[in-house]
Amino acid sequence: MPFRHSATHCAYKRMTNLHLRNKAIHDIYATGAHLSRTRMENAGITVERANEIVEMKFDDADPDYDWTSSTPPEPSVDGPISVNKFLHWCFYNDTYKECISTKKIAYGNWVGKTLPPRGGYIYDLLNRHFGDGDNMIVRYGNWERDVSKILTKDMDSLLQSAKKHWKGVDRIHRHLQTLSCALELAPFYDHKCDGYDAYVKLQREKNYAEQKNFIRRESENEDRTVPKFERLRELTRDKFGENSKESLCIDLFAEARLRKNELQDIRFNPPKDQREKCTYIIVTEDTAKLKRYRGYRTRKLEQYGMRDDCLELSAVLGDKIRSYIGHGNTRLFEKNQCASTFVGNVLTEIKVKTPEWKWHNVRLLGRSYVSTERARAKLHVDVLQQNYLTCEQMDHTAKASSRLINTIHDQHPRDDNNEERSI
């Protein structure tokens, strides 16, 4: 009887082969030279493909182009458009995205790079298109030298690739939205002539994906519930104690609606030379004031500038902070501690974070807060005004705020004996 490989064995073999191939591709680029014939054959890399990778290595090492520059030259309107030079330019000229981390997601991490990072949504979109879904098979390929045709003449095939290789409509929307923003910036992209039809097709597909994604989220929100925010705070105090770090973290969010990165970096009474352009709390014997320097979430930095907020915290919260500082703490979270993970563990311990909220930590706090405030607004005469104030507090647009609304449940999380208690 002939030997038959199991499905698990075959899958393992495929993964091993992919690992060998991908490692070989990286090594060819890193060394700028061919590998041994045996290794290239085992990895399934042809001589032609190896030559292509080596050529890109030498192209990237061009002494006339500085990849570390924060003022890259504009891509030329004449001739080929290099995807890496285009993304390099977008990274430092996209003023709509105020946060460096957001730019890294969109265009790749260009900070201090001596070679193109080959990352981000746009590179991933184009790389998968030319590689027919494989994110490594054409990396460091000739296609990187010129993407003008695909962006101006062949947008249909790019859009079809996105729908083929990504089944999740939210992922498609993120990639198309990023590409749309980049093309709005692009000095070479003529929206009225050569690139008009392609740009219109991109906008149509992007809007379609956005609407489908919005409907999906609305449907999910109808099926998922969150606890009242007051109940969430009460559960945290009961579980960890009134003056615990866990309770302090939740209370800080309640009063200041801090973002994840603000919670991560917040400091107490920092020296004056460390206060510039950061979030911190100045605590005296009588007061506790939170100072934060941040931009708007979704508004252009050059149009609206930075927000320089100062918020006086409640006396109760001030006492908690003094107690926390009294134990020698100068930061809410140390550099090696992740704020998002910490909040997620807290919500898990109080049995609020269920499997349906797997990827939500600080965001779940926001959902609970917004949903609670929206439910409370219905009791007021001026419902619209109350909803507007909630949007202002969270620094959300009305549309963004609506995505966070879930049904409020009035039950205590299940105890170990599976009994439920009413609030």
The model's confidence at residue 131, banded by pLDDT at 50, 70 and 90, is very high
Instruction: Work out the mean pLDDT of the chain and round it to a whole number.
Output: 82
User: What pLDDT is stored for residue 356 in this prediction?
Assistant: 78
**Contacts of residue 275, Cβ cutoff 8 Å, sequence gap at least 6:** 291
The model's confidence at residue 18, banded by pLDDT at 50, 70 and 90, is confident
Of residues 357 and 117, more confidently modeled: 117
C-beta atoms surrounding 393 within 10 Å? 14
Report the interhelical angle of 315-325 vs 245-256 (nearest 10°): 140
User: What pLDDT is stored for residue 68 in this prediction?
Assistant: 94
**How far, in whole angstroms, is CA 291 from its chain's centroid?**
25
Least confident of 79-93, 198-212, 218-232, 268-282: 218-232
Residue with tokens 């946060």: 99
The model's confidence at residue 416, banded by pLDDT at 50, 70 and 90, is very low
Of residues 401 and 284, more confidently modeled: 284
Residue 119 and residue 83: Cα distance in Å, rounded? 11
Residue 361 and residue 246: Cα distance in Å, rounded? 13
Tens of pLDDT, residues 102-114: 899 999 999 999 9
The string of DSSP codes covering 347-386 is HHHTT---GGGTT-SHHHHHHHHHHHHHHHHTTSS-HHHH
C-alpha dist (Å) from residue 69 to 111, 121, 182: 9, 21, 19
Residue 74 and residue 187: Cα distance in Å, rounded? 7
The model's confidence at residue 212, banded by pLDDT at 50, 70 and 90, is confident
Against a cut of 0.75, is the pTM above it?
no
Of residues 330 and 383, more confidently modeled: 330
Range with top average pLDDT, 202-206, 219-223, 391-395: 202-206
Question: Containing H/E element for 178?
Answer: helix 169-185
126, 150 Cβ separation under 8 angstroms: yes
Q: Per-residue pLDDT for 52 more than 50?
A: yes
The model's confidence at residue 423, banded by pLDDT at 50, 70 and 90, is very low
Structure tokens at 245: 């770090």
User: What pLDDT is stored for residue 375 in this prediction?
Assistant: 77
User: What pLDDT is stored for residue 106 in this prediction?
Assistant: 95
User: What pLDDT is stored for residue 100 in this prediction?
Assistant: 86
- Residue-range domains of the chain with CATH: 1-57 (no CATH), 62-218 (no CATH), 225-409 (3.90.15)
Q: Per-residue pLDDT for 70 more than 90?
A: yes
Tens of pLDDT, residues 179-203: 999 998 887 777 667 778 898 999 9
Of residues 115 and 390, more confidently modeled: 115
The model's confidence at residue 1, banded by pLDDT at 50, 70 and 90, is very low
Question: Containing H/E element for 325?
Answer: helix 315-325
**Is residue 159 exposed (0-12), middle (13-18) or buried (19+ Cβ within 10 Å)?**
buried
The model's confidence at residue 309, banded by pLDDT at 50, 70 and 90, is confident
User: What pLDDT is stored for residue 402 in this prediction?
Assistant: 55
Q: Per-residue pLDDT for 310 more than 90?
A: no
User: What pLDDT is stored for residue 414 in this prediction?
Assistant: 47
User: What pLDDT is stored for residue 222 in this prediction?
Assistant: 63
User: What pLDDT is stored for residue 66 in this prediction?
Assistant: 94
Cα–Cα nearest to 86, from 64, 58, 116: 116
Q: Are strands 225-227 and 407-409 parallel, antiparallel or unpaired?
A: parallel
Structure tokens at 158: 């790019």
Q: Residue range 63-91: average pLDDT? A: 90
Q: What is the CA radius of gyration of the chain?
A: 26
User: What pLDDT is stored for residue 418 in this prediction?
Assistant: 42
Backbone angles phi, psi at 418, to 5 degrees: 65, 20
